[in-house]
Structure 1
């Protein structure tokens, strides 16, 4: 287990995945915590913990393989592969965490099913001009 901001993020992920209990995650989030989604919506601490708690039932048994965990100042970036339980898809996730005074203050995430990655790489391809 690492120390510093990376250590806080590792503890948060370990607490959540190992116990499946959002109560283990709550003390690592600041009171003003904000979770940002790619669709420009956001949730506060209470809303996000409720959403995570509701998702945990179907996600029980999810495997998480952290591929990269990078820290720069008050930001930690985590790239992981996650295998959903049973025959669920493998997903690639990039989480960006901003910490303040040793607590997670903000989070952003991008989630992509690995099977759709190739299709999502074509948006910028030249169109045959």
Structure 2
């Protein structure tokens, strides 16, 4: 199951990253797909695909580099670095995807702007507690 689920996510991302074709990605999502962000907002399949199209569609210009792809049972974790066009900010993203019945059912996304890494990494230092 782990290897199969990792393959599903790899194929979904490869189609999207290589072509910017959101329809390829859509074919890998369940009808009741949900996307969760760290700010507690949730998007439906249609809402999330519209956002992905705006960011990664053929004319959007965002570059995505997959750094790690890990899987355990029905969950697949993707660690990526994304660069926005026109010298826009660079972000690091961790997505946790849940696969059910051969389709991606949910995604939890955590985003960190690279420029804010030092500030975000210092919150736990003893002097700040």
TM, length-normalised to structure 1: 0.88
Please say if residues 59 and 85 of structure 1, whose CA atoms lie closer than 8 Å, have aligned partners that are also in contact: no
1:128 Cα deviation (Å)? 6.9
1:49 aligns with 2:49: yes
* Aligned residue number for residue 107 of structure 1: 107
* Per-residue Cα deviation, 1:33-83 (whole angstroms, up to 9, x for no partner): 110011101011112112222333597332222111100000000111122
Whether the 8 Å CA contact 1:36–1:108 is kept in 2: the answer is yes
The separation in 1 between residues aligned to 2:128 and 2:29, in whole angstroms, is 48
Cα distance in 2 for partners of 1:48, 1:65 equals 20
**Residue matched to 1:17:** 17
1:112–1:58 CA distance, 2 compared to 1 (3 A): farther
Where do 5+ consecutive residues of structure 2 fail to align?
none
Where structure 1 has 5 or more consecutive residues not aligned to the other structure, the ranges are: none
SS at match of 1:127: helix
CA distance in 2, matches of 1:26, 1:58: 15
Give the 3-state SS of the residue equivalent to 2:112 in structure 1.
strand
Residues 43-82 of structure 1: pairs in structure 2 closer than 5 A: 43-56=43-56, 60-82=60-82
Runs of 4+ more than 4 Å apart: none
Aligned to 1:36: 36
Q: Tell me, in whole angstroms, the C-alpha distance in 1 between the residues paired with 2:128 and 2:101.
A: 51
Deviations 1:6-51 (A, max 9, x none): 1111111111122212111111000111100111010111121122
CA distance in 2, matches of 1:59, 1:99: 29
CA RMSD of aligned residues (A): 2.0
